[in-house]
Amino acid sequence: MGRKTVYVSDFSGAVLDSGDEVVQVVVLEHPDLVAGPVRLEARPAEVESIDDAALDVAMVEIHDGQGDGEPRRVVLTASEFDALATDLPMAQLLRTAERVKPAKAIRRSGERVDYTTLEHAGKPHRGKITEEEARLVREHLDEINKRLADEGLRQIDPASPDHADRYGFDTSAELP
């Protein structure tokens, strides 16, 4: 008995041949996206129009004065955002403004993450996946994928050969 994996475009449902070039589109925000970013795959020709339809936008976060709570993220056209600058041109303000590091990049030195806990299991990392982490992922996949999605990280797909190998998912149940 043999197995055959068939890949299809997420956009059109068309079967992708093994020699087809595939592009990945990561959807970061969308009104119908409820559990964090997702990855879609398609042929390059299917997503060519994305660049043509692109808008010049500014994405900003608004933090309250005390730094408490989650910031609000707002997307508006670049021209609407530029109009907020009344003293100097926005381009000049952006060139001279204080640089900030994204929240994910801030990490205390010496802080080690324990991937063998439900709080961190399944997060992408450079180290080896231990059997304990793999077992947690297999036993709590839905819970871990929800947490990963809430954190804006890639989710674990047991059907993905890479994820199946990494986390020890049984792939023998696939259809011939």
Q: Tens digits of per-residue pLDDT, 124-159?
A: 888 889 999 999 999 999 999 998 888 888 899 998
Tell me: do 6 and 47 sit in the same domain.
Answer: yes
pLDDT at 2 over 90: no
Tell me: do 98 and 132 sit in the same domain.
Answer: no
Domain presence at residue 14: yes
Domain presence at residue 98: yes
Tell me: do 90 and 115 sit in the same domain.
Answer: no
At residue 54 the predicted structure's pLDDT band, cuts being 50, 70 and 90, is: confident
Q: How many CB atoms lie within 10 A of CB 116?
A: 15
pLDDT of residue 110: 60
Tell me: do 158 and 130 sit in the same domain.
Answer: yes
Tell me: do 28 and 60 sit in the same domain.
Answer: no
Task: Output the pTM of the full model.
Answer: 0.46
Greater model confidence, 175 or 102: 102
What residue numbers bound the domain in which 21 lies? 1-53
Tell me: do 26 and 38 sit in the same domain.
Answer: yes
State how far the Cα of 172 lies from the Cα of 140, in Å rounded to an integer: 20
Tell me: do 125 and 97 sit in the same domain.
Answer: no
Tell me: do 124 and 140 sit in the same domain.
Answer: yes
Greater model confidence, 112 or 121: 121
Averaged pLDDT, 43-69: 85
Tell me: do 3 and 38 sit in the same domain.
Answer: yes
Contact assessment for residue 36 and residue 26, using Cβ atoms and an 8 Å cutoff = no
Per the structure, the count of domains in the chain is 3
At residue 29 the predicted structure's pLDDT band, cuts being 50, 70 and 90, is: confident
Tell me: do 15 and 38 sit in the same domain.
Answer: yes
Tell me what the pLDDT averaged over the chain comes to: 85
Backbone phi, psi, residue 146, to 5°: -65, -45
